[in-house]
Structure 1
C-alpha cells in the first residue's frame, strides 16, 4: 500500500473510533465535567406552545380604559376609533366609544363592558350577548348601521353588560 493511502485509511479509522467512543459515552451516561450525566442535545428541545386564547395585555387595558377583555380567537381586537374606518363601534354609558377591528372569516371575543346601549356594525355579520341580573339577551347587529341594544332596546330600560361578540363574513 502506498504511504499516502495508508495515512488516509489511518485517518478514517481514527475518526470512526473517536465517533464510536463519543457515542458509547453518551449512551452509557458517563459524567461530563459538570458532574451530571451526559445528555444528548436533542433531549433538551423546547416545550410545546399552548394557546390559551386569553386576551393579551388585558390587565393594562382594564387599568387604562376600564374594559375587561377576557378571551378570543384574535379576529376581534381592540382598536383606536380614529385609526381607520370600518370598525365595530360600541357605545356605553360607562366609557367612551370603544372600537374593535374585525379580521378573518369569523371571530369571537368575550369581554365585559357595562351599560352598553348601541352598537354600530361594520361589513361583518355580528351577534352580541348581553346580560342583566341573571338574564341573557342576544342581539343581531345590522351591517354598517346602528342597532339599539341593552337599555335602549329594553322596555324596562335596564342597564345591560356586553359579554360576547361573534362575527362572520
Structure 2
C-alpha cells in the first residue's frame, strides 16, 4: 500500500513543478516587456544609456527654505508675520497647554503663544508693539527693533519679563523680530 501512495504522489508533484515553471516564465516575459529599450544611438548595456535613463526619471531635489507653513493665512487671520524658522518654535493655541512662550502686544487683545520643542530653536517674525514675554523652561532670547535700533532681551524662565516699551526709558513701541530658545 505504501508503494501505491508514493506512485500517486509523483504525478501530482510533476504537475505542480510544471505549473510553477509556466508561471515563472510568464512573469519573466511580462517583466522583460516592461524594461525600456535603450535610446536611439546608444548601445544596449552601455553606461551612457543607463545613466541617461536614471537621470531622466530621477525626482527633483527638495530644498528647505525654512518658510513658515501657512504664514500668509496667519497674517490674514491674526495680523502676525511668521517668516522663517527651524520648526522648533511654532504658533500654538494658548489654551492648548502649559509650557508655552506667551507674548503680549498692544495691538493684540489676547496673548500670542508659541510651543517650543527640541534642544534649540529659532523663529523670525514680526509682531509690533510687544511689551512683555512669559518664558517657559527654555533659555529664551528675543530680538526687537525700534527705528534703526536693535535690542536683545533675555527672557526669565517661567515668569513675565518686561521687553520693548515697558523696558525702554522712552516708552517706544518695539517690534519683535526673532525668538531663539535652547535647553
The bucket for the TM-score relative to the shorter chain is 0.7 to 0.9
Q: Distance in 2 between matches of 1:133 and 1:98?
A: 23
1:90 aligns with 2:103: yes
Gaps of 5+ in 1: 1-7, 31-38
Larger Rg: 2
Hey, what does 2:128 align to over in structure 1? Answer: 114
Q: Distance in 1 between matches of 2:84 and 2:64?
A: 11
Hey, what does 2:40 align to over in structure 1? Answer: 28
Cα distance, 1:160 vs structure 2: 0.3
Cα distance, 1:27 vs structure 2: 4.2
Higher strand share: 1
Higher helix share: 2
Equivalent residue of 2:158, what SS? coil
Cα distance, 1:60 vs structure 2: 0.0
Q: Distance in 2 between matches of 1:59 and 1:27?
A: 46
Hey, what does 1:162 align to over in structure 2? Answer: 176
> For the structure 1 residues 68 and 26, does the alpha-carbon distance in structure 2 shift closer, same or farther, using more than 3 Å as the test?
same
Gaps of 5+ in 2: 1-20, 43-51
How is 1:10-89 mapped onto 2 (pairs within 5 angstroms)? 25-28=37-40, 40=53, 43-89=56-102
Hey, what does 2:6 align to over in structure 1? Answer: none
Following TM superposition, the consecutive aligned residue runs of length 4 or more in structure 1 with deviations greater than 4 angstroms are: none
Alignment root-mean-square deviation, CA = 2.4
Q: Distance in 2 between matches of 1:102 and 1:40?
A: 45
Aligned residues: 144
Q: Distance in 2 between matches of 1:29 and 1:105?
A: 56
Q: Distance in 2 between matches of 1:94 and 1:104?
A: 30
Q: Distance in 2 between matches of 1:126 and 1:111?
A: 15
